[in-house]
Structure 1
Amino acid sequence: MLSTFLQKTIRIYKSNRLLFLINTLGLSIGMASFIILILWVTKEKSYNTFLKNDSVYQVVTNYTVNGGVRSARSTSLPLIRAMGPGVAGVEAVAYTKPVSGGLIKAAGKQARSNGRYASADIFRIFPQPFLLGTADVALTDLSAIVISSSLAERLYGKDWRTQSENNVLALNQKEYMVKGVFESFPEHSTFSSDFFIPMEKDTNEHIGSYNYETYIKLNEKASAANVVNSINKKIAGLSAVSILLQPFRDIHLYSNFNNGKVDGGRILYVRLFMVAAFFLLGMGCINFMNLYIASSFKRTKELSVKRLIGAGRGTLVWQLISEAYITVFISVVLSLLLTFLLLPFINEYLSENLRFPIQSWQFWLFILGVFMVTGLLASVYPALRLTSFSPLSVLKSHQGAKIGGIGITKILFTLQFFISIFLIYIAFTTNRQVRYLLDKDLGYNKENIIGKKLSPDEVQKIDLLKQELAGKSFVTSETFSSSNLISGTPMTGDVAWTGKTPADSVRFAVLYTDKDFVKTFKVKLLTGNAGAEFGADLPVVINKKAAKIMGGEVAILNKTINVFGNNCRVTGIADDFNFTSLYNPIDPLIIADYPSEADYIFIRPVPGREADAIAYLEKLGRNDSGKQESYFWVKDSLDTLYQDEANLGRRSFLFSIVCILIAMSGFLGLVNFSIIKRMREMGIRKVFGSSQQQMLLLIFKDFLQCIVIAVLIAIPVSYMFLNNWLDKFPYRIYLHPVSFLIPLVCMGFIIFLVVLFYSFRLEKINPIHVLKE
């Protein structure tokens, strides 16, 4: 019986080869896109899920900056000390900061790694299992270090267990004793470290210096809201700032803050592409239903005869659903093959690391669920419609029944094009916004500048490096800076000037650099000449925004201000420039000639001599065992800041193409079937003198009306969504009618090609042959 059914099904598919091909390919492309998007969503949601409980929170510091509230995922040491003792519900507090320079040497080998200074309770917050040693005494000795299992293997090989304990490592000209090896942090964690060094207690740090990532673990009965209130009351007498606690699980997806509150983040993209995934799968199902219903008239007589000779409606419904499931099964197999083959290219295009989970039983259970649900969605409605007519009326009319009516087909076809147009608008607008951010004038010249983070040893030799670079022929200019002009600078309210009122709470960014900063980055000076502005003892240059706050350029120039308790003379005023990412507006800035606090070196090489400059920067970190390549191009580093937005545009573009392919395949299938169904009518019209244009209008009128409706719905929906998304950028593009016109022109051109193709087909209709048949 099964073989008979399969033979019958194959015969049916052979009689409708084109529709079967369109159905299978459309559904498999939709399912492959669905699987890829679900893999990405699953990866995003897997971040920070390795902790067994939800009682770990990150401390976020809210502080007022020039009339607005900013949030920092770091805080100061005096505030940290106020969080633990005496606060009900707090089980442990741990704080960390990055270690500058991560080149570790041991046993004749070296490895570049990212490590942290950490307080003693770090392993109470993140209880990574210790594979060697114990967490209790891991960070009690300032000369101790604990390393991850991956770093241990890189340094000591696979038999690291017998070699690493109590061994000595060299890091930044200092030796540490290995006191333990912990299990490496999972890949999908926002917190990770290759090693931990005990935190040196510094009692003299300013309360406004937010240098530490801080995590709090609450006991099971504690309320996070109550703990936040208790801490804020406790620190109210120390500072004007406040803190909030964000669950560790939420950090990756809810990374944005607005006015001191969590305001979305990557969760927006997760939700968007989750919806897009189901849209793409739905479009494949819509194609299937449309083409199944459209082709149904060929089978109405067959089904009518079966009904008359005794077949029940339930039997016929089951037969049609089974036939549909065969198509769905073939599509699932093809979609899995497509996913496996395309993942490497998609990973490269989107800078992702998605993997095909071939060994995961949960994945295969998910695929089984997709198969069952997709089969039901794609087959139940057509099967019920195909068996809902009266057999006698079909056989008496000598023609197929009109199955499904025009309404449902129009609605489904319109929905397909709405989804396609919506994703096209997202891709087009996000690409424009990213291009705007990449091309925006930052107020300095970011082209052809190479930077490198200095090790603590290199910071001590800044004067020698400066003298050495002065004699290099490949250097146009060089400078040292405490900021990379990407991740921002410390903010402080500890600035005083003549005329400042007690109620003034303005906070200033402070950038430590040298006298060649303005020249190297080609910052525009409003007063003085590049280099000459640094002529006085403790000289500072301020930006235009800071000058306005201090009474104006004329009033503050050459006057004394107090920064961190030090008297400084304002010897120059620079035009406003973006010294952090374009996610933040320009703040008032103080540039101090104090290179000993610098962390970065920047070189502007002579054009054509870039390789020499790179070789010099590499040499700074070179040792007997090899070299480190930690230099970076300023322009490239700025470009990577907007990777999420760029990937949003790429994903939208990629899946809008998929949507168009699915929609156009359905469009082709429905138009093709419409022409086949109306071939006799077209032949008669041609005999009576109908023009080519009139016949094309008859064929395409309903389809084009649906496309116009889809466009009219997609434009306002897209505008509201995209305008809301763009509002998060201080610097943004604005949506103009042209923004919506260009994608429509592109889609209109594709539709025109379809119409042109079928116009040639209609032209070849021979009325004599058609009417004979």
Structure 2
Amino acid sequence: MIKNYLKVAWRNLSKNKTHTFINIAGLSVGLVCSILILLWVQNELAMDSFHKNSSRLYSVYASQYYDHKAHGTYNTPGPAAEEMKKVIPEIEYASPYAFTNPATFQAGDKILKMNGNSAGPDYFKMFSYPLIEGNAQNALKGPVAIAISRKMAVAFYGSPAAAINKTIRYNNDKSLTVTAVFEDMGANVSEKVDFITNWKVFTDDNSWALEWGNNGPSAYIMLRPDANAALVEKKITRFLDKYNNLDRKTATFIIDLALQPYSEKYLHGNFDDQGRIDGGRIAYVRLFSIVAVFILLIACINFMNLATARSVKRAKEIGVRKVVGALRSSLIQQFISESMLITFIAVAVSLVLLALLLPVFNDVTQKQIVLPFNQPGFWARLTAITLVTGLIAGSYPALFLSSFKPVKVLKGTLKLDTGTTFFRKGLVVFQFFLSIVLITATIVVSKQMSYIQSKNLGYDRENLVYVPMEGTLIQKYEVFKQEALSMPGVESVTRISNTPTNIQGSTGGINWVGKDTTVNIQFTFASVGYDFTKTMKLKMAAGRDFSKDFATDSIGYIINEAALKRIGYKDPIGQPLTMWGKKGKIIGVLRDFHFNSLHDRIRPLILRLRENEDYGNFLIRTRPGKTREALSSMEKLCKQMNPAFPFTYYFSDEEYQKLYQNEQIVSKLSDAFSFLAILISCLGLLGLAMFTAEQRVKEIGIRKVLGASVQSLYALLSREFLMLIGIALLIALPVSWYAMNKWLLGFEYHTPMQWWMFAMAGIIILFIALVTVSFQAIKAALMNPIKSLRSE
């Protein structure tokens, strides 16, 4: 029976080649989109979930309450993790974790830069990163222990086995011992590193991390198998009060701790205005999951529409089958078989397209996704998608076609009822509604990305380079600066403790005359050198930059306008300001500039002069068109002055772009999926236009004989489709406005929603639909009426 169904189905598909091609093309494109998104979603959901003890691994986060607001952060005091393990019996293991700036390593004559972090001795006991050499118990045991990746072991020693117990030089400052080699971290790891040092290596260089009053490192814990996570969370909520000697009745700065399953941190990394976990990348996972369903639904709607529209063509076949005894159930099975056959062909085509498009998709999403043909789960999910798609696409046509009455069919009196016609039109409206929403989203996302690119940050990020201060360059800052300034192409040189696109340090230890002592205001701070405002091309609202002509500038401060608003001085220049007990005066007020992502509001900022700090970055302004020449000269200078370290530099504009990687990915995917949604919709529209023209061929012939013009016939055939798309526009535009306005609210600074964005979406979809219908409409209108009427 099934063989017969498939044979009949194949004959019908072969007979209607154009109809079949449109259906297969639409379903193939829809399936490619859906499977790509499925693979991406699967990759996102699998991130960090492979650890053996995943259900017991938690990240500690803090809700900080100050300035009458709550702020969430993963930053905790450095001693917190190991102290919690000592005090709370339900905690089996705990580890602090901190990002280490790209470090320079030397073994023999090989000098390379690697990315890594520092962690406590329990780290590898908690996390299941495969160890090739060494064991979890001793991997980070000892103050000079370091665990390195396979890649790093091969780079320095030739193999993991040769690396174990070897000594490696760290930042030309201390010698570390390789105690373990772990497998290179794969695509399912969110925090990829080449090395992890013992926690003491970090605290030796960052003594502030030993103090309870400073926040910065992350804290990870692993509970005992019988522990209750909710109970542990209650125990740690006010854990820091004791160590900070905090009286909550009078305190102006309060920190509550809470737990988040470690496997959820990657996708749920944002905080709400209560300082609690609220969304993150999971929003994009949900968004594109919905997009995948919508695009596949658009493809299924094509199938339904075309099958229903062509029902009159198959009416006599159905009538004859029923007269000779065919049951409705057998007819339903026949039509479902046709749908399944088309779907299986579409799946085969989509797998070929997937293999071709996956490298491009990986490049856009910055993933390393592979087609998991060797995994039974993939084939199970693919089979499920195939069956569901086939059933959705074929169910309505099967039920509809099998319901025909043979008497009406064979008498030639069959007409599609109003309900059927309305349903088919409703499908077209829904299909284009989804397409319009996607187009509008694409326009708004593209406009926001353009806004980010062109936004005046308050400084000039072009031709701005920063070079890490390391090795002997730290002590030779002034010499380096003078040498660099003499080079062609270098305009100015200064220093900064952070990077210009990511100034993060904050403090509440700021005092001034008239301060409300009942309110704790956090100020972002940075240490800079002379010529900072000149190099950054910042604008002064009042006062001046730090200058060697004024010896008192060593205790002077420059603030931004946001800080001035919080301080409240009417005439700030020369007014007293104290930072961490060091009294000084305000010498300048900067116009507000963006030193973080546009997701964040510009925070109060204080700059202090520190020419001799032992960390930070050189900031170098190059002359337009001379950057390459300047970098070449600086590389020679760095090799001469700092031979133990490779020359490393970063472009400020490139680092700025990295702040918006997620948005850039969303923008590119929106462009692609919108295009494909339109393509699928227009394939369906083309099929319906062809069928409509075919059904009305005699009417068109008669109208031409009676004198109708090509223009009037074109308008006749196009009017219905344009009306349906107009209805889709009326429904889609308010939905699009609501969805995109909500997305833009995730940015403190964003492009305004403007009417032309929605008008453009409407014009684009109308134009494309008109072009799609025009080909078939004009062809029908130009047909010779003699040929149209000859059969009569």
Q: Same fold (TM over 0.5)?
A: yes
Paired position in structure 1 for 2:255: 241
Structure 2 Cα separation of the partners of residues 135 and 3 of structure 1: 59
1:687 aligns with 2:705: yes
Q: How does 1:3-42 map to 2 (within 5 A)?
A: 8-42=8-42
Paired position in structure 1 for 2:422: 407
Paired position in structure 2 for 1:703: 721
2:628 to 595, 604, 611: 611
Structure 2 Cα separation of the partners of residues 514 and 303 of structure 1: 86
1:490 to 500, 505, 516: 505
SS state of the match for residue 561, structure 1? strand
Contact 2:717 2:777 survives alignment (8 Å): no
Q: Could you tell me how far 1:629 is from its partner in structure 2?
A: 5.8
Contact 1:541 1:572 survives alignment (8 Å): yes
Structure 2 Cα separation of the partners of residues 32 and 704 of structure 1: 29
**Greater Cα shift, 178-187 or 410-419:** 178-187
Structure 1 Cα separation of the partners of residues 184 and 346 of structure 2: 40
Q: Could you tell me how far 1:588 is from its partner in structure 2?
A: 1.3
The aligned amino acid for 1:605 is: T
Structure 2 Cα separation of the partners of residues 500 and 570 of structure 1: 15
Contact 1:166 1:179 survives alignment (8 Å): yes
Structure 2 Cα separation of the partners of residues 177 and 350 of structure 1: 37
Structure 1 Cα separation of the partners of residues 465 and 91 of structure 2: 45
The aligned amino acid for 2:483 is: E
User: Relative to structure 1, is the Cα distance of residues 227 and 458 closer, same or farther in structure 2, using a 3 angstrom cutoff?
Assistant: farther
Paired position in structure 2 for 1:212: 217
Paired position in structure 1 for 2:121: 120
Q: Could you tell me how far 1:523 is from its partner in structure 2?
A: 1.0
Paired position in structure 1 for 2:251: none
Paired position in structure 1 for 2:84: 83
**Greater Cα shift, 125-134 or 14-23:** 125-134
Contact 2:168 2:177 survives alignment (8 Å): yes
Q: Could you tell me how far 1:209 is from its partner in structure 2?
A: 2.9
1:46 aligns with 2:46: yes
Contact 1:50 1:186 survives alignment (8 Å): no
Q: Could you tell me how far 1:124 is from its partner in structure 2?
A: 2.8
Paired position in structure 1 for 2:132: 131
The aligned amino acid for 1:375 is: G
Paired position in structure 1 for 2:760: 742
Contact 2:714 2:774 survives alignment (8 Å): no
The aligned amino acid for 1:117 is: S
Paired position in structure 1 for 2:325: 310
SS state of the match for residue 196, structure 1? strand
Q: How does 1:313-392 map to 2 (within 5 A)?
A: 313-392=328-407
The aligned amino acid for 1:353 is: Q
Structure 2 Cα separation of the partners of residues 8 and 661 of structure 1: 30
Contact 2:487 2:630 survives alignment (8 Å): no
1:254 aligns with 2:274: no
Q: Deviations over 1:531-587 (max 9, x none)?
A: 438641322211222233333252x42233221232333222222211222121111
SS state of the match for residue 94, structure 2? strand
Paired position in structure 2 for 1:462: 477
Structure 1 Cα separation of the partners of residues 151 and 510 of structure 2: 46
1:559 aligns with 2:572: no
The aligned amino acid for 1:137 is: N
SS state of the match for residue 357, structure 1? coil
Q: Deviations over 1:361-392 (max 9, x none)?
A: 22122222222222222223212221211112
Structure 2 Cα separation of the partners of residues 610 and 548 of structure 1: 38
Contact 1:560 1:569 survives alignment (8 Å): yes
Contact 2:25 2:346 survives alignment (8 Å): yes
User: Relative to structure 1, is the Cα distance of residues 466 and 208 closer, same or farther in structure 2, using a 3 angstrom cutoff?
Assistant: farther
Structure 2 Cα separation of the partners of residues 463 and 26 of structure 1: 66
Paired position in structure 2 for 1:678: 696
Q: Could you tell me how far 1:484 is from its partner in structure 2?
A: 0.8
Q: How many residues align?
A: 770
1:230 aligns with 2:245: no
**Greater Cα shift, 112-121 or 275-284:** 112-121
Paired position in structure 2 for 1:544: 561
Structure 2 Cα separation of the partners of residues 713 and 99 of structure 1: 52
User: Relative to structure 1, is the Cα distance of residues 404 and 329 closer, same or farther in structure 2, using a 3 angstrom cutoff?
Assistant: farther
Structure 2 Cα separation of the partners of residues 179 and 168 of structure 1: 10
1:586 to 602, 625, 649: 602
Structure 2 Cα separation of the partners of residues 291 and 262 of structure 1: 47
Q: Could you tell me how far 1:708 is from its partner in structure 2?
A: 1.8
**Greater Cα shift, 431-440 or 453-462:** 453-462
The alignment yields a C-alpha RMSD, in angstroms, of: 2.6
Contact 1:143 1:177 survives alignment (8 Å): yes
Q: Could you tell me how far 1:10 is from its partner in structure 2?
A: 4.3
**Greater Cα shift, 740-749 or 87-96:** 87-96
**Greater Cα shift, 74-83 or 486-495:** 74-83
Paired position in structure 2 for 1:266: 281
**Greater Cα shift, 169-178 or 61-70:** 61-70
Contact 1:474 1:612 survives alignment (8 Å): yes
Structure 2 Cα separation of the partners of residues 21 and 604 of structure 1: 59
Structure 2 Cα separation of the partners of residues 639 and 208 of structure 1: 33
User: Relative to structure 1, is the Cα distance of residues 168 and 88 closer, same or farther in structure 2, using a 3 angstrom cutoff?
Assistant: closer
SS state of the match for residue 84, structure 2? coil
Query: Structure 2: which 5+ residue stretches go unaligned?
Result: 247-253
Paired position in structure 1 for 2:611: 595
Structure 1 Cα separation of the partners of residues 179 and 369 of structure 2: 36
Contact 2:144 2:177 survives alignment (8 Å): yes
Q: Could you tell me how far 1:356 is from its partner in structure 2?
A: 2.2
Structure 1 Cα separation of the partners of residues 687 and 66 of structure 2: 60
The aligned amino acid for 1:550 is: I
**Greater Cα shift, 585-594 or 100-109:** 100-109
Structure 2 Cα separation of the partners of residues 756 and 693 of structure 1: 11
Contact 1:96 1:212 survives alignment (8 Å): yes
SS state of the match for residue 220, structure 1? coil
The aligned amino acid for 2:700 is: M
Structure 2 Cα separation of the partners of residues 699 and 626 of structure 1: 77
Contact 1:169 1:175 survives alignment (8 Å): yes
1:176 aligns with 2:176: yes
SS state of the match for residue 210, structure 1? coil
The aligned amino acid for 2:701 is: G
Contact 2:457 2:594 survives alignment (8 Å): yes
Structure 1 Cα separation of the partners of residues 473 and 65 of structure 2: 35
Q: Deviations over 1:166-216 (max 9, x none)?
A: 211112112212222233433322234322222225776554432212112
Structure 1 Cα separation of the partners of residues 712 and 602 of structure 2: 61
Paired position in structure 2 for 1:664: 682
The aligned amino acid for 2:582 is: N
Paired position in structure 1 for 2:297: 282
Structure 2 Cα separation of the partners of residues 591 and 138 of structure 1: 41
Q: Could you tell me how far 1:3 is from its partner in structure 2?
A: 7.8
SS state of the match for residue 757, structure 1? helix
Contact 1:480 1:601 survives alignment (8 Å): yes
Contact 2:148 2:182 survives alignment (8 Å): yes
Structure 2 Cα separation of the partners of residues 258 and 526 of structure 1: 33
Paired position in structure 1 for 2:771: 753
Q: Could you tell me how far 1:493 is from its partner in structure 2?
A: 0.6
Paired position in structure 1 for 2:250: none
1:63 aligns with 2:85: no
The aligned amino acid for 2:214 is: S
Q: Could you tell me how far 1:61 is from its partner in structure 2?
A: 2.5
Contact 1:481 1:595 survives alignment (8 Å): no
Q: Could you tell me how far 1:291 is from its partner in structure 2?
A: 0.8
